[in-house]
Chains A and B, each alone.
Chain A
Amino acid sequence: MFAEFLQYLFTGITIGATYALIALGFTLIYNASHVINFAQGEFLMIGGMATVSLTAMGVPMVLAIILAVLLAGVLGILLQRFAIAPAKQADVVTLIIITIGASIFIRGLAQLVWGKEYHVMQNFSSDEPIRIFGAVLNSQSLWVLGIGAILVVGLVLFFTRTLIGKAILATSMNKEAARLVGIRTQLVLMLAFLVSAVLGSVAGVVVAPITFTSYDIGIMLGLKGFVAAAIGGLGSGIGAVVGGLLLGVVEAMAAGYISSDYKDAVAFSMILVVLFFMPRGLFGAKVVERV
């Protein structure tokens, strides 16, 4: 009985950690620009696919991962420079639509370059699962959790201890005021895209051994990441992490105890409930309208 519960919990936390990393990417760009970047799932796909194709060409795994993350980062900058920046004065909804277009474009390119097949990636360490109290844990899950935790701590330090991080925060709070004190807001925006592309691609690389990877893996994972970000309260870092883990665990529990048919339905009704009682999400910022 306990083993069963533990098994569902492990499954939920692993997939939840992935959702959390994607949700963090959404949060970052949302904070800097109030844009919801629907190409976030594509960064994830680029990370996994580029790593797989580079290792297939004989590049050592570690180098392949670094190159793949760099590629995603460059793509993030290009996306901001050539798709978002030219439409500076447009309102947020327009920018969101641009990111949807960009995601379809990137997916199309990936399909041409890498084909439509699913690809396998080796586990980082052993293939042997770990047994704890009768439940099993894929060793790759530990990598997902560990790297996820490092990234979250890294992000917190980046935003609280570095000048660039503070500049991003300042821009998100008040763009005009930030520009007045000498922050180059366009540069900040570009940085936000870069960091969130890096986050997304790292998530893509660490989960690829569990989920496989293909040109369209980003659609569903990206959507779930967005749901996690919305549950946690868009714009909140802790919210993204908690939202992601919560979503993953609820999904796994629903599949195990209720019925796998209703797994997604339970996850999505959870958003309805959360947003109904807390319209800004679990950790959303309080908005005070000054009159």
Chain B
Amino acid sequence: MLKTILRRTGQVAAIAAAGLVMSAQAAEPIKIGSFLSVTGPASFLGDPELKTLEMYVEKINEDGGVLGRPLELIHYDDVGNASNARNFASRLIRSDRVDIIVGGSTTGATMAAVPLVEQAKVPFISLAGAVVITNPVKKWVFKTPQTDRMAAERILTDMKDRGITRFGLISGTGGFGSSGRTQTLDVVEQMGMEVVADVTYSGSDTDMTAQLTNIRNTDGVEAVLNFGFGQGPAIVTRNYAQLGMELPFYQSHGVASDSFLELAGDAAEGVRLPASPLLVPDSLPDDDPQKQVVQDYKAEYEARWDSKVSTFGAYAYDGLMLAVQAIEAAGSTDKEAVREALENIQGYVGVTGVFNMSPEDHNGLEADSFRILEVQNGEWKLIN
């Protein structure tokens, strides 16, 4: 009995292997490598990213692939751990021999892989946020999300438009909040504004009334900005409403998702924040070049996975499309040619923004790609 099963399995395997060899001869696949935080604490990033990659690789292959060759996605789950990310990046380069890497959900994972890709000379498009990834420019490293610095610039510009120059800053002590705080303080000087109160809270704090009271009692505060991530900003928003504070209130792009609306409830009324147009696909003006891309991505993602689209998945969409465009422009998978093509992409209209890459700018986005939204009647409303 066992023998027959074994023999049969052997036969099936042989047939399958033969099939593989044959299709490989027909067209050698283009290998796209990826390491993402699909599970673990950063799974809210990695999960939609992987779904997006899988879905669009499939779709591109149905449409005939790239340069007449199918795409093959090779992905690993780094569980949000930087040393795993480094190992997987090494495996992608050495044993899978991928043509390009699109991945790295967190800044930690990305930075762990950077020395490897630089050394092995493989084009790498990161999906993580921090400004250090592309500043200073690294020859082989690109990224799709805007930096926290751009978010700070966008918020401060909006404040200035409303005639606000002195504001209170409250930030989380986690990586996102503290990096955002540093960038904000930096941008403030350039724009001739002033942070009059600067307080923090830790990620597990359950009440920020004391910090907000401190800001409220500072002389000359005209607005409040909260740079933070997770449930903290929602608690800050609720405490803000309870204290009856009337000053204009800004949040960062870290909470630009529907779950923030749900957690903060009525307290979120009037809050402004910079966000991806993906949150308001239908309110974009018709002449907005991104409108079509954003609507299509949202519709396709939600039809396929039956779950809400997220800004993070859009980073992966842009990463994959940039890679495809670069390979097409290069006409081959020659790594140096693809890298150069990536660096010269101009006017690619993505979900996150319009990318204009250059040898000095491996991100290619402007602060304008963030839209300023305001919460009105429990929904996101496009301001500009």
Contact = CB atoms under 8 A, between A and B. Distances in A.
B259 A260 contact: no
Interface string A108-140: 000000001110100000010100000010100
A116 B217 CA distance: 36
Given A118-B234, A129-B244, A260-B199, A212 B213 contact: no
Interface string A216-256: 00011100000000000000000000000000000011011
A94 interface: no
Nearest to B204: A220
Interface stretch (B125-133, B262-270, B277-285): B262-270
Contact of A118 (B201, B243, B263): B263
Contacts of B201: 255, 260
A261 B200 contact: yes
A105 to B, nearest CB: 18
Contact of B206 (A129, A136, A210, A259): A210
B259 A256 contact: no
A55 B132 CA distance: 45
A15 interface: yes
A214 interface: yes
SS of A interface (majority):
helix
Interface in A2-58: 4, 7-8, 10-12, 14-15, 18
A202 to B, nearest CB: 17
B214 interface: yes
Contact of B211 (A4, A214, A260): A260
A261 to B, nearest CB: 6
A136 B202 contact: no
A15 B207 contact: yes
Contacts of A207: 206
A143 B243 CA distance: 19
Interface size bracket, A side = 20 to 34
Contacts of A212: 206, 231, 234-235, 263
Interface in A255-280: 255-256, 259-261, 263-264
Given A4-B217, A136-B243, A264-B202, A120 B207 contact: no
Contact of B209 (A7, A221, A253, A261): A7
A211 interface: yes
B358 interface: no
Contacts of A214: 231
Interface residues of B, number: 29
B210 A120 contact: no
B157 interface: no
A8 B213 contact: yes
Given A118-B263, A127-B266, A211-B206, A4 B213 contact: yes
B43 interface: yes
B90 interface: no
B173 interface: yes
Interface in B217-264: 217, 230-231, 234-235, 242-244, 259, 262-263
Nearest to B242: A129
A256 B234 CA distance: 20
Contacts of A263: 202, 205
Given A136-B244, A138-B242, A261-B200, A118 B259 contact: yes
Given A11-B209, A263-B202, 15 more contacts: A7-B243, A11-B210, A118-B230, A120-B262, A127-B266, A210-B207, A211-B206, A211-B207, A211-B235, A212-B263, A252-B209, A255-B211, A256-B211, A260-B210, A264-B202
Interface of A: 4, 7-8, 10-12, 14-15, 18, 116-118, 120, 127, 129, 136, 138, 207, 210-212, 214, 219-221, 252-253, 255-256, 259-261, 263-264
17 contacts: A116-B43, A118-B231, A118-B259, A118-B263, A120-B263, A129-B242, A136-B244, A211-B207, A211-B235, A212-B231, A214-B231, A220-B204, A255-B201, A256-B214, A260-B199, A260-B211, A263-B205
- Closest 4 pairs between A and B when the two form their complex, measured CB to CB: A211-B206, A220-B204, A255-B210, A256-B210
